[in-house]
Amino acid sequence: MVHKKPVVVITRKLPESIEARMMELFDARLNANDIPLSQDGLCGAFQQADVVVPTVTDNIDRSIIEAAGPQLKLIASFGTGIDHIDIEAAKHKGIIVTNTPGVLTEDTADMTMALILASARRIIEGAIMIREGRWKGWSPTLLLGRRLGGKRLGIIGMGRIGQAVAQRARGFGLSIHYHNRQRVHPEIESELEATYWESLDQMLARMDIVSVNCPHTPATYHLLSARRLNLLQPHALLINTARGEIIDETAMVKLLSEGRIASAGLDVYEHEPEINAELLTLSKPVLLPHVASATLEGRIAMGERVLVNVKSFIDGHTPPDLVVEAP
Ligand code: 8YV
């Protein structure tokens, strides 16, 4: 008997080795030119595929899920965050959802440190000055930044990534403070010498650097509201490698342009890939294009997790990275 291979639609271009394996195992439909699918394109994919492998750039909303064909049983997302998928609609439709947790923790934490260093030490301003031929020579007061050692880092979200940031930050002499839905295990707290703040407001008012490392959920949307951002000290740095929606971006840009916080290091934005026009006029904030987890090793590891999730499901096993279980 000839078994038809399952149709797996992969919405964006993935590393070659991952795409090659996808082609071996499945009837994989690739996106060679890497142009994100329109909502109509996504709808079409959900009507023909047995499995869809989306990324953060796909808005898998209720209408797409409801229009899915009866053969579509798994959304195996390439990424950790799942805020681009209407999870309730998937549950309701009986579609399983998986993600790729764990494999991008270290890369994201590295980039968080890079943004802390770049914004505290004004690295990008210096690099641009050189390239634009504006450097006239050494000066004792040129591009003065702030020392990291002895400062307080407040981490919002002490999960895997928050803890990996804390480990690194300790090496730079930062003291670790955190706010989380739940206090972490006392062993982790003592290993990181971390101080728990039940009140986010109180923590914000006392930190030199604040790093956002929690997922975007309805509960964390605009967690850093205009009111809370106003609690930050004028010398504070705000770092975000999580999701733009967690910060009220308009309020943040206002504080930055009025000099009411010192700078920001941002990898994510509220309306990606659109960037607030006023933010672009400011020279101090360090702005990156959502690349905190962008290493070749990380992307391959994410692809491997997707392969394992899809293959386990096709073979009748429970995929390891379940976000929404089988009905
Ligand atoms: C990924 C991310 O690059 O996994 C996540 O949640 O934010 C990114 O680091 C992206 O989501 C891939 O889909």
Owning domain of residue 306: 7-103+296-324
Q: Annotated catalytic, 272? A: yes
In a domain, 1, yes or no: no
Active-site residue identified among 243, 245, 270, 305: 243
Residue 247 falls inside a structural domain: yes
What is the position in ligand 1's atom list of the atom closest to the CA of 107? 9
Domain count, the chain: 2
Residues with CB under 6 A from ligand 1: 55-56, 78-81, 104, 292-293
pLDDT digits (tens, 9 = 90+) for 10-53: 999 999 999 999 999 999 999 999 999 999 999 999 999 999 99
- The answer to whether residue 180 is domain-embedded is yes
Identify the sign of the CA torsion 88, 89, 90, 91.
positive
Q: Are residues 122 and 140 in the same domain?
A: yes
- Do residues 160 and 276 share a domain? yes
Same domain, 15 and 65: yes
324 pLDDT band, cuts 50/70/90, is: confident
pLDDT value of residue 13: 97
User: Do 84 and 56 meet the contact criterion of CB atoms below 8 Å apart?
Assistant: yes
Same domain, yes or no: 98 and 227: no
User: 148 — phi, psi (to 5°)?
Assistant: -80, -40
Q: Is 16 inside any structural domain?
A: yes
Ligand 1 pocket check: which of 60, 104, 269 to mutate, most ligand atoms within 8 Å of Cβ?
104
Whether 89 and 124 map to the same domain: the answer is no
Instruction: Pick the catalytic residue from 19, 125, 189, 272.
Output: 272
Tens-place pLDDT, residues 186-240: 999 999 999 999 999 999 999 999 999 999 999 999 999 999 999 999 999 999 9
**Do 238 and 254 share a domain, yes or no?**
yes
| Residue 45 sits in the same domain as residue 133 | no
Is residue 181 annotated as a catalytic residue, yes or no?
A: no
Is the Cα dihedral 113, 114, 118, 119 positive or negative? Answer: negative
Question: 231-288 pLDDT, tens per residue?
Answer: 999 999 999 999 999 999 999 999 999 999 999 999 999 999 999 999 999 999 999 9
Quote the tokens at residue 24: 């071996």
Asked if pLDDT for residue 1 goes beyond 70, the answer is no
Give this prediction's pTM.
0.95
CA distance linking residue 43 with residue 61, whole number of Å: 10
Q: Are residues 237 and 113 in the same domain?
A: yes
pLDDT digits (tens, 9 = 90+) for 82-105: 999 999 999 999 999 999 999 999
My answer on whether 134 and 262 are in the same domain is yes
Task: Determine which residue's CA is closest to atom 1 belonging to ligand 1.
Answer: 79
- What's 169's domain CATH number? 3.40.50.720
Q: Which of 243, 293, 300, 321 has most ligand 1 atoms within 8 Å of CB, for mutation?
A: 293
Whether residue 316 lies inside any domain: the answer is: yes
Mark whether 128 and 158 lie in a shared domain.
yes
Atom number in ligand 1 closest to CA 99: 4
CA 54 to centroid of ligand 1, rounded, Å: 11
Residue 162 lies in a domain: yes
Active site residue 121: no
Task: Report the alpha-carbon distance of residue 74 to residue 94 in Å, rounded.
Answer: 9
Q: Please tell me the residue having the least CA distance from ligand 1 atom 10.
A: 79
Q: What is the tens place of the pLDDT at every residue in 281-318?
A: 999 999 999 999 999 999 999 999 999 999 999 999 99
Helices (H), 49-81: 62-66
My answer on whether 254 and 121 are in the same domain is yes
Specify if 2 maps to a domain.
no
Q: Distance between CA atoms of 117 and 193, rounded to whole angstroms?
A: 21
Residues 88, 25 within the same domain: yes
Query: Would you give the end-to-end CA distance of the chain in angstroms?
Result: 29
Domain presence at residue 71: yes
Amino acid 325: pLDDT: 77
| Digit-coded pLDDT (tens) for 51-78 | 999 999 999 999 999 999 999 999 999 9
